[in-house]
Amino acid sequence: MGDEPLVRWHWIGTHLGYLRDLLLDHAVISLLPVLFGLLMALPLGLLCVRFPRLYQPLAAVFNVIYALPALAVFVVLIPYTGLATQATVMTPLTCYALAVLLPTTVDGLRSVPEPVRQAATALGYGPWRRLAAVELPTAVPYLVAGLRVAAVSSISLASVGALVGRGGLGYLFMDGFQRTFPTPIVAGIVLVTALALVTDAVLLLARRLLAPWARRESVVGR
């Protein structure tokens, strides 16, 4: 690498617009899948709680999906969704998000203490109404905890998409590597991490607004 410095500030200064575009693309391809995952996890989770037999097989399937290597999945999808398309990167990321969010949704819906559930029934809630009015709000802290995990790993994984031609900031890593030029790599790492941390902070804030009644900072993992 010779005398090349870790960061050339001049390069960053002249590429601000470029970095911004990559950042926006990265946010879209990594966070939209989390949103899609959430939109799928909610109805699926409700179904799993209402019909518990569904959950075991579904959980097993998503457990396996979560273990699939992102790069391998991107590649396998190329013949179906095309090289360098958003679909190739976003489809697996949606599956990963769903794999994280389904168990947290179900855990959250099930976290309602038995006396509370019974009280709700005794006060005259039907099963579906109770799910919407009691179980779903109680699940919010769990959902946010799941969203934090899903969003952060999605943001990190999306950069691998660069290897199949659509990776947002991940492109900086390939570019820097091919030109033996560390500045874009460092910029990429910093921006990816920053995006993840900002997203995380936004989700924490959302939790505080949506569930002020939840006592502890971390509900999951206790």
Restricting to residues 148-177, name those near another protein by CB under 8 A.
Answer: 148-149, 152-153, 155-156, 159-160, 162-164, 167, 169-170, 172-174, 176-177
CA nearest to 91, candidates 37, 39, 12: 37
Q: Quote the least distance from Cβ 112 to another protein, whole Å.
A: 8
* Residue 17 near residue 186 (C-beta atoms within 8 A): no
For residue 121, state whether it binds another protein (rule: CB under 8 A). yes
How many residues bind another protein (CB under 8 A)? The answer is: 77
Identity of the amino acid at 36: F
Q: Interacting stretch for another protein, rule CB under 8 A, among 7-15, 48-56, 98-106, 180-188?
A: 180-188
- Which ranges constitute the DSSP H helices of the chain? 9-14, 16-50, 55-67, 70-81, 86-110, 114-123, 127-130, 136-158, 170-178, 182-210
Q: Interacting stretch for another protein, rule CB under 8 A, among 37-45, 47-55, 101-109, 129-137?
A: 129-137
CA end-to-end span of the chain: 47
Residues 90-109 that bind another protein (CB under 8 A): none
Residues 30-89 that bind another protein (CB under 8 A): 63-64, 66-73, 75-76, 78-80, 82-83
**Cα 186 from chain centroid?**
23
